[in-house]
Homo-oligomer: A and B are copies of this chain.
Amino acid sequence: MNIVLSRDSQVRLMEDTVANAEKSFGQFCSLLAAYTRKTARLRDKADQLVRQLIDFANTENPELRATVRDFAEDLAKVQDYRQAEVERLETKVVNPLKLYGAQIKQTRAEIKKLKHAQTNEIKQLQKLEKLRQKSPSDRQMISQAETSAQRASADASRTTRQLEDTVGTFQRQKLKDLQKIFSDFVTIEMVFHAKAVEVYSSAFQTLENYHPERDLQDFTAKMQGVYGHHTARPLADSNPSPPGLWPPASQGPSSVPPRRADKGRPHADHGRFGPTEWGRGQPAHRACKDGC
């Protein structure tokens, strides 16, 4: 009977192996899908910041306008790399983890087959034992029952070997896939972070090179040069003022450029702002349920 007991233990170990893999891979899948989604949310927020920076730049003096735009462009570039990160995580990390559902289903089916063979083996053994107790002298019946038990045992034995192969292959694939998936995760993250360092280094230079003095001169000139450049509000009287009280309106035509006139250079969105791309406009829970 020992082999039956150990086969039972073996099935339980196999079931544990598959159940653990199913649980762990399911959780990895959910967590990495959520991680990807949160990364997409961070990208969205930074995209909003890019747009806000460009709107702001359009209201500022030339030096700051150029600086803020260049900075916004760099920030947008980082988001492009983040978008690539999101897409790669989806393709090379989340999707492969989803595929485990199918593999686990197949291995479960194989285990079920073994359980059936095992149940049959136990049934035949119990039948044989009963016969031995009730009719110890009925050699023919006992011999038949022995043959049936032997067949059932051989069947269970063969199924066990098949299952050992299946579960062994499953385990080997699991270890390799795990290594591959997490290596891909690390590579994707590493590439993104390296690109971000590169782009932010350039952004840092852009900001360092900004000197507010010229903009401040422009601002002061605008403040002082504003005399007579705006349409006058109608007043109760337009009589000439007494001499000596007010200087003449001496300034020529306006040199103040209109504000917010400079909207011709929208953020280069690199095709990322369409309604269909990943993570955009989807409810936060959506990818959570996506097959993990």
Question: How many chain-A residues does the 8 Å CB contact rule pick out?
Answer: 104
At the interface, yes or no: A15 with Cβ under 8 Å from chain B?
no
B229 and A9 within 8 A (CB) = yes
Supply 18 further A-B pairs (C-beta < 8 A) apart from A10-B223, A187-B204. Answer: A9-B227, A20-B59, A28-B56, A32-B49, A35-B42, A35-B49, A38-B41, A38-B45, A68-B178, A125-B237, A126-B235, A129-B237, A146-B242, A164-B224, A172-B212, A179-B210, A190-B196, A193-B194
Shortest A237–chain B CB gap in Å is 4
* Chain A residues in the interface with B (C-beta under 8 A): 1-6, 8-10, 12-14, 16-17, 20, 24, 27-28, 31-32, 34-35, 38-39, 41-42, 45-46, 48-49, 52, 55-56, 59, 64, 67-68, 71, 78, 122, 125-126, 129-130, 132-133, 146, 149-150, 153, 164, 167-168, 171-172, 175-176, 178-179, 182-183, 186-187, 189-190, 193-194, 196-197, 200-201, 203-204, 207-208, 210, 212, 215-216, 219-220, 222-224, 226-230, 232-233, 235-239, 241-242, 245-249, 259
Bound together, the chains give a CA A8 to CA B233 distance in angstroms of 8
